[in-house]
Amino acid sequence: MKVIICGAGQVGWQIARHLSGENNDVTVVDNNPELVRRATETLDVQGIAGFASYPNILERAGARDADMIIAATYSDEVNMVTCQVAHSVFAVPRKIARLRAQSYLDAIYSDLYRRDHMPIDVVISPEREVAEAALQRLSAPAAFDTETFLDGKAQLLGITIDEDCPVVNTPLRQLTDLFSTLRAIVVAVRRDGRLFAPESKDQLFSGDACYVCVHNEDVARTMEVFGKSTRTQERVIIVGGGNVGLAVAQRLEKKGRSIRSKVIEKTRSIAEKAADALERTIVLNGDGLDKVLLSEAGVSRADAILCVTDDDKTNMLAAVRAKASGCEMAIVLINDPSLVPLMAPLGIDAHINPRQTTVSSILRHIRHGRVRGVYSIGDAEAEVIEAEVLSTSPIAGRSIRDIDFPEGVLIGAIEQNGKVVKPEGKIKIDAGDVILIFALSKDVPEVERLLQVSIDYF
Could you tell me the CATH number of the domain that includes residue 348?
A: 3.40.50.720
Worst-scoring range by mean pLDDT, 69-83, 91-105, 260-274?
91-105
Instruction: Please name the amino acid found at residue 182.
Output: L
Among 231, 219, 209, smallest CA distance to 344 is for: 209
Q: Let me know whether 284 and 327 are in one domain.
A: yes
Q: Let me know whether 361 and 347 are in one domain.
A: no
Q: Let me know whether 396 and 342 are in one domain.
A: no
Give the contacts of 185 (CB within 8 A, at least 6 positions apart).
Answer: 212, 213, 410, 411, 412, 413, 422, 423
Give DSSP secondary structure letters for 177-246: HHTTT--EEEEEEEETTEEEPPPTT-B--TT-EEEEEEEGGGHHHHHHHTT-------EEEEE--SHHHH
Average pLDDT over residues 105-111: 68
Among 205, 3, 222, 223, smallest CA distance to 92 is for: 3
109: pLDDT confidence band, cut at 50, 70 and 90? low
**Does residue 457 sit within a domain?**
no
Where is the domain boundary, 306, 329, 354?
A: 354
**Does residue 373 sit within a domain?**
yes
Q: Let me know whether 348 and 406 are in one domain.
A: no
262: pLDDT confidence band, cut at 50, 70 and 90? very high
* Residue 4 CA: distances (Å) to CA of 69, 86, 447: 5, 10, 24
**Does residue 458 sit within a domain?**
no
Measured at the alpha carbon of residue 238, what is the angle toward residues 234 and 243, in degrees to the nearest 5? 125
How high is the pLDDT of residue 455?
A: 38
**Does residue 172 sit within a domain?**
yes
CA 171: distance to chain centroid?
Answer: 29
**Does residue 385 sit within a domain?**
yes
Domain CATH number, residue 149: 3.30.70.1450
Q: Let me know whether 172 and 148 are in one domain.
A: yes
Q: Is 369 a residue whose pLDDT tops 60?
A: no
Q: Which long-range contacts (CB under 8 A, 24 or more apart) does 56-61 make?
A: 57/29, 58/4, 58/29, 58/82, 58/85, 58/86, 58/89, 58/90, 59/90, 61/4, 61/27, 61/29
Give the contacts of 395 (CB within 8 A, at least 6 positions apart).
Answer: 389, 403, 429, 450, 451
Among 65, 33, 63, smallest CA distance to 50 is for: 33
Q: Is 107 a residue whose pLDDT tops 70?
A: no
Worst-scoring range by mean pLDDT, 124-138, 204-218, 444-458?
444-458
Judge contact between 347 and 328, C-beta under 8 A: no
**Does residue 369 sit within a domain?**
yes
pTM (predicted TM-score): 0.70
Q: Let me know whether 341 and 364 are in one domain.
A: no
Q: Let me know whether 282 and 267 are in one domain.
A: yes
> What is the spatial distance between Cα 174 and Cα 177, in angstroms, rounded to a whole number?
5
Q: Let me know whether 148 and 248 are in one domain.
A: no
Average pLDDT over residues 329-351: 87
**Does residue 63 sit within a domain?**
yes
Q: Which domain holds residue 187?
A: 130-225
How high is the pLDDT of residue 332?
A: 93
Where is the domain boundary, 354, 379, 403?
A: 354
Q: Is 233 a residue whose pLDDT tops 70?
A: yes
Mean residue pLDDT across the chain: 88
Q: What pLDDT digit, counting tens, does each position of 38-92 carry?
A: 999 999 999 999 999 999 999 999 999 999 999 999 899 999 999 999 999 999 9
Where is the domain boundary, 354, 369, 397?
A: 354
Percentage of the chain beyond pLDDT 90 is 48
Number of domains in the chain: 4
Q: Let me know whether 91 and 137 are in one domain.
A: no
How high is the pLDDT of residue 154?
A: 92
Q: Let me know whether 43 and 118 are in one domain.
A: yes
